Amino acid sequence: MNRFSLRLFALGIALGSIGAAVVLAAGAYASTKPPTTAINRVTPASDRPPAQESGQPVIDWNRVLLSIVNTPGAQPATIQPTRNFAILHAAIYDAVNSIDRTHEPYLISVRAPRSASETAAADAAAHTALVGLYPAQQSALDADYAAELAQVPEGPAKDKGIRLGERVATDLLAIRANDGSSVIPPPFVPGTDPGDYRPTPPNFPTPVFTTWGQLTPFVLARGDQFRPAPPPELTSEAYAAALNEVQSLGSATSTTRTSEQTEIGKFWNPPIQNFWNQIAQTVATANDSDLPTTARLFAALNLGVADSAIAFYDAKYTYRLWRPVSAIRLADSDGNPLTVADPSWLPLSVNTAADPSYPGAHSTISAAAALALASFYGDDQRFSVTSPVLPGVTRSFTSFSAAAEEAGLSRIYAGQHFRFDHDAGLMLGHEVARFALNNALLPAHDSSGQPRSDRKPR
């Protein structure tokens, strides 16, 4: 249940300072961890919150961000939304984990008193992060913050949690301020040779996020760390098979696409990261996950998704492969006798996404998200998903991997991607997520009970 009032009113809170130290994630900024500093000197082992705190605040704030990115004009056009989801949930995680201490920090380590409220820390971290990312939304965010904090009893625990969350988020925002997201890309020059990406009919959109592959990753060492091999040669049988498949199944006037495939092609068309955050909300609620677990779940999910976006943009603008609509209309220039041009062909979705084809974004992000969620709950989970573009339609699944497969295939049915875009995307997403899960948010102690911070760097 969303606990936010959504009424707009200002909230002023006097916030004290908290000493904090940055802990650098594997491969993201450096490999050393500076010492932490204490909020107060005495932190008795027994000074813990009396009961597990609910993971609902994480879900509430995730819903707030979903609402923002779905509001026309609220999301900066030059900022890929996956970055902001990662920053929000990394801030919540590091704030909560500074009290819980069961896992390694992502970037920010604060020696917080165990008596501090984890809920207040999560709320303050989320509010501070979102106000920093969306200053124009502050009035609404202040109202959300007031409604959320009203659920936390007044007292020292709440005050300590607020100070902790504010400090963690402020430091994280400062670290990400120079990550390359504010770089203004040079004008894109489309190619003219067969296979070269060029803006697509009928609307000919300007290519987006052309330098996003150079963004500082969240966990990866660099954007090209798992760059896939090149797509098939235009003259190959594999290329012809993939083109002929999407030409048949993805056409706006297809007679071979089934009614279910048409539904699937339309259903998954909105931004794919939104679907996976909604799925995470559903599954976390069904499993009644506590606050530390829920914070870690959404951080793992969105760090992997954000790095997947960096990785696929690196590959897209390295290979610059044309989209199916260009390939099909210009098939008489590809040198492949197994392809046939259709100069008037349009995809099911009519317009085409404004970036090169290879690899597929839906497939990459879905594979990464499915692996992250499965690492918490196992792959076999029953859940249902709805789509804002098909009101009243629900898609149900028995595993995360099945949903990821369908989401990726939807782009073939929608006329957006080739089969090899999908296959490469699934592999890339798996590789990125596997690396992120093995190198961030790990248990504070290994299987032998040794603190991981005492081990040599991996």
- Residue 15's pLDDT band, with cuts at 50, 70 and 90, is very low
Provide the phi-psi class of 376: left if phi over 0, else alpha when psi is between -120 and 50, else beta. Answer: alpha
Those residues whose C-beta lies under 8 Å from the C-beta of residue 391, and which sit 6 or more positions away, are none
- What the block records as the tokens of 101 is 């201490």
Asked if residue 295 lies in contact with residue 122, where contact means CB atoms within 8 angstroms, the answer is yes
Distance CA 80, CA 400 (A): 24
Structure tokens at 394: 């629900």
Q: Which residue has the tokens 């084809």?
A: 357
For 280-289, b/e burial (b = at least 16 CB within 10 A) is: bbbbbeeeeb
Window from 95-104, 146-155, 295-304, 440-449 with minimum mean pLDDT = 440-449
- Residue 116 phi, psi dihedral angles, 5° rounding: -65, 150
Rounded mean pLDDT, 255-280: 98
CA pseudo-torsion sign 228, 234, 238, 241: positive
**Backbone phi, psi, residue 347, to 5°:** -75, 165
- Nearest CA to 210 out of 231, 226, 186 is that of 186
Give the pLDDT score at 450: 75
Share of the chain above pLDDT 70, in %: 87
Give the Cα separation of 190 and 176 in Å (integer).
31
What is the model's pTM?
0.89
- Whether the CB-CB separation of 208 and 271 falls below 8 Å is answered with no
pLDDT at 295 exceeding the cut of 60: yes
pLDDT given for residue 2 in this prediction = 41
What pLDDT score was predicted for residue 290?
A: 97
Residue 219 CA to residue 29 CA, distance in Å, equals 9
Report the greatest alpha carbon distance in the chain: 77
For CA atoms 369, 426, 352, 230, give the dihedral sign.
positive
Amino acid at 104: E
| pLDDT at residue 141, as a whole number | 98
Backbone angles phi, psi at 386, to 5 degrees: -115, 165
Measure Cα distances from 449 to 111, 378, 394, 443, 445 in Å: 20, 24, 45, 10, 5
Average pLDDT of the residues in 293-312: 98
Q: Using the predicted structure, report yes or no on whether residue 406 has a pLDDT greater than 50.
A: yes
Q: Is 378 left (phi over 0), alpha (psi -120 to 50) or beta?
A: left
Backbone dihedral region of 220: left (phi > 0), alpha (psi from -120 to 50 degrees) or beta? beta
SS (H, E, C) the chain: CCCCCCCCCCCCCCCCCCCCEECCCCCCCCCCCCCCCECCCCCCCCCCCCCCCECHHHHHHHHHHHHHHCCCCCCCCCCCHHHHHHHHHHHHHHHHHHHHCCECCCCEECECCCCCCHHHHHHHHHHHHHHHHCHHHHHHHHHHHHHHHCCCCCCHHHHHHHHHHHHHHHHHHHHHCCCCCCCCCCCCCCCCCCCECCCCCCCCCCCCCCCHHHCCCCCCCCCCCCCCCCCCCCCCHHHHHHHHHHHHHCECCCCCCCHHHHHHHHHCCCCHHHHHHHHHHHHHHHCCCEHHHHHHHHHHHHHHHHHHHHHHHHHHHHHCECCHHHHHHCHHHCCCCCCCCCCCCCECCCCCCCCCCCCCHHHHHHHHHHHHHHHHHCCCCCEEEECCCCCCCEEEECCHHHHHHHHHHHHHHCCCCCHHHHHHHHHHHHHHHHHHHHHCCCECECCCCCEHHHCCCC
Convert the pLDDT of each residue in 45-79 to its tens digit.
Answer: 334 444 579 999 999 999 999 999 999 999 999 99
Confidence of residue 5 (pLDDT cuts 50, 70, 90): very low
The model's confidence at residue 454, banded by pLDDT at 50, 70 and 90, is very low
Confidence of residue 445 (pLDDT cuts 50, 70, 90): confident
Q: What does the block give as tokens for 127?
A: 């509010």
Radius of gyration of the chain (CA): 23
Q: What is the pLDDT of residues 178-193, one digit of tens each?
A: 999 999 999 999 999 9
